[in-house]
């Protein structure tokens, strides 16, 4: 048995392979709520991404993506934060990768607050301070910074799909914002 660094391309799947796996197994995701904090570590702003969904409607969301085979949670968080917020976001990853919340997504409604029509997935949710300049990339149109109170307002939570409004509320509650 050989021990070494895993093949970085070994975790990537073709679209067909991914669709087949999504029909058979739950997948592991990380999700991150980017925040700005003051000198005492109190959350002062929450960053939400604006995206167009498959039907063209504008929705709000957070950083999200799969954990690849051989990748640590910290590596997955960093990769997705950089992918969605840009290389100059400078996230401060938690010293201990203990999630603020765990969400279980199902492809149908009624089992949990979280739905994803593509798959059954388990997501570890983190609140991650970012200190740099965020330039949304990938399919995000913009990143909006809101106060924690505005971020968990009904108007904003209603713009989030798949139960992510409940997820955002739970994540912010873990850092003292449960208004």
* Domain spans in the chain, listed from the N-terminal domain onward: 18-173
CATH architecture of structural domain 18-173: Alpha-Beta Complex (3.90)
Instruction: Find, among 116, 85, 113, the residue nearest to 170 by Cα.
Output: 113
52, two tokens = 């167009």
The pLDDT of residue 22: 78
Query: What is the three-state SS of 18-70?
Result: HHHHHCCCCEEEEEEEEEEECCCCCEEEEEEEEEECCCCCEEEECEEEECCCC
Q: How would residue 3 be classed by pLDDT, with cut points 50, 70 and 90?
A: very low
Instruction: Find, among 98, 97, 80, the residue nearest to 89 by Cα.
Output: 80
Lowest mean pLDDT among 19-23, 63-67, 104-108, 144-148: 19-23
CA distance 154 to 64: 22
**Residue-wise pLDDT tens digits, 79-113:** 999 999 999 999 999 888 899 999 999 999 899 99
DSSP type of residue 137: -
pLDDT at 55 over 90: no
- Mean predicted lDDT score pLDDT of the chain: 90
Helix count and strand count (H, E) for the chain: 5, 8
């Amino acid at each position: 048995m050989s021990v070494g660094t895993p093949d970085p391309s070994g975790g990537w799947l073709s679209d067909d392979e991914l669709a087949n796996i999504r029909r058979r197994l739950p997948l592991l995701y990380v999700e991150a709520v980017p925040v700005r904090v003051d000198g005492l570590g109190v959350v002062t702003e929450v960053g939400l991404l604006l995206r167009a969904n498959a039907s063209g409607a504008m929705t709000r969301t957070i950083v999200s993506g799969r954990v690849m085979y051989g990748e640590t949670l910290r590596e997955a968080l960093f990769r997705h934060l950089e992918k969605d917020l840009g290389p100059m976001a400078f996230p401060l990853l938690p010293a201990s990768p203990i999630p603020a919340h765990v969400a279980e997504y199902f492809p149908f409604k009624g089992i949990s607050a979280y739905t994803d029509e593509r798959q059954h997935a388990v997501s570890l949710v983190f609140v991650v301070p970012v200190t740099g300049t965020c330039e949304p990339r990938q399919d995000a149109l913009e990143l909006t910074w809101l106060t924690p109170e505005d971020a968990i307002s009904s108007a904003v939570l209603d713009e989030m799909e798949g139960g992510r409004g409940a997820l955002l509320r739970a994540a912010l509650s873990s850092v003292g914002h449960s208004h």
